[in-house]
């Protein structure tokens, strides 16, 4: 079996400061160690469960946070940005997916660093009229490849919210209980590692028992991006076939989740570049 892991940072345990998540800042090395320890816990359990290949997509910020020299054999790492399909790059050909360190969508209460893709530029992302988290669009991308997401570990507001609602078959592991945007209660790392191992073992068992399902969205997908300011939507509205929605929104249709993600990223880079 071949497993795919996408790992973000904002939903990881003990990560509560921008110092944890930004290259060169005081707590960045601590954030990298936490990320790597969590990935290792899952990889070790996957190998015990009969998985012989693992692809790990480093999916936070500049996408170079994972410590590569600590990864064991038979693990491939997807690093660097920009890259087409972003957080799910490298997933093609895998049997199932696992998401680690995922956070809640923009505007979520009691969620550390709530945002969707780029909080400084995108205020809200909607797919078929439903406000989307990164979990939802990434799961839909894997669903287009007939790959189920068997476990999601991250902020409790995400796993008890969007994951429970849209993928109730997935094993859910709460890595933190957020108090606000930059404060949370997290399990000790030994306890967290134990929870991840137990969750991974259960997820593989249920996958083998055919209890897991790919998440699919109705296609074509109607995508709406509400930007933080109208200057961003001015730029994005140059997309052929798009429709301006109010002052800050742009709406377009995508043939599938991969196209929805790719065009969203393209419009994001255009907006950031112009800024």
**Residue 190: burial class (beta carbons within 10 Å; 0-12, 13-18, 19+):** exposed
The more confident residue out of 83 and 257 is 257
Rounded to two decimals, the pTM is 0.97
Q: Is residue 8 part of a domain?
A: yes
* β pairing state of 243-245 and 249-254: antiparallel
Q: Tell me how many domains the chain contains.
A: 1
Q: Is residue 17 part of a domain?
A: yes
**Domain span at 185:** 2-104+144-208
Q: Is residue 29 part of a domain?
A: yes
Q: Is residue 241 part of a domain?
A: no
CA distance 47 to 211: 20
CA distance 202 to 196: 10
DSSP single-letter state for residue 162: I
pLDDT tens digits along 37-54:
999 999 999 999 999 999
Q: Where do runs of H (alpha helix) occur along 104-229?
A: 134-144, 156-158, 164-166, 189-208
State yes or no: pLDDT of 180 exceeds 90: yes
pLDDT tens digits along 154-165:
999 999 999 999
Q: Is residue 168 part of a domain?
A: yes
Q: Is residue 40 part of a domain?
A: yes
Q: Is residue 74 part of a domain?
A: yes
Q: Is residue 228 part of a domain?
A: no
CATH number of the domain where residue 152 is located: 3.40.50.10780
- For residue 32 the two structure tokens come to 């990298």
Angle at 76 between CA 260 and CA 162, to 5 degrees: 40
């Amino acid at each position: 079996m071949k497993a795919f892991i996408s790992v973000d940072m904002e939903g990881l345990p003990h990560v509560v400061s921008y110092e944890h998540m930004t290259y060169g800042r005081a707590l960045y090395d601590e954030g990298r160690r936490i990320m790597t320890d969590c990935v290792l816990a899952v990889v070790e359990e996957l190998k015990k469960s009969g998985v012989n290949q693992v692809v790990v997509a480093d999916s936070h910020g500049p996408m170079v946070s994972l410590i590569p020299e600590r990864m064991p054999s038979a693990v491939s790492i997807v690093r660097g940005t920009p890259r087409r399909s972003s957080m799910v790059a490298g997933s093609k050909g895998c049997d199932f997916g696992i998401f680690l360190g995922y956070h809640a969508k923009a505007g979520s209460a009691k969620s550390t660093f709530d945002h969707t893709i780029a909080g400084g530029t995108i205020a809200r992302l909607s797919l078929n009229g439903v406000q989307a988290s990164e979990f939802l669009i990434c799961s839909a991308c894997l669903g287009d490849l007939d790959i189920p997401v068997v476990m999601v570990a991250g902020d409790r507001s995400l796993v008890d919210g969007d994951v429970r609602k849209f993928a109730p078959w997935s094993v859910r592991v709460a890595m933190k209980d957020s108090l606000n945007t930059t404060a949370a209660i997290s399990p000790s790392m030994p306890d967290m590692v134990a929870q991840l191992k137990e969750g991974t073992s259960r997820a593989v068992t249920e996958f083998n028992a055919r209890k897991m399902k790919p998440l699919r969205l109705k296609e074509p997908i109607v995508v709406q991006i509400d930007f933080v300011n109208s200057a961003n939507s001015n730029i994005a509205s140059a997309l052929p076939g798009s429709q301006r929605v109010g002052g800050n929104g742009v709406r377009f249709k995508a043939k599938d989740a991969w196209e929805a993600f790719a065009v969203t990223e393209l419009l994001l880079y255009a907006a950031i570049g112009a800024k």
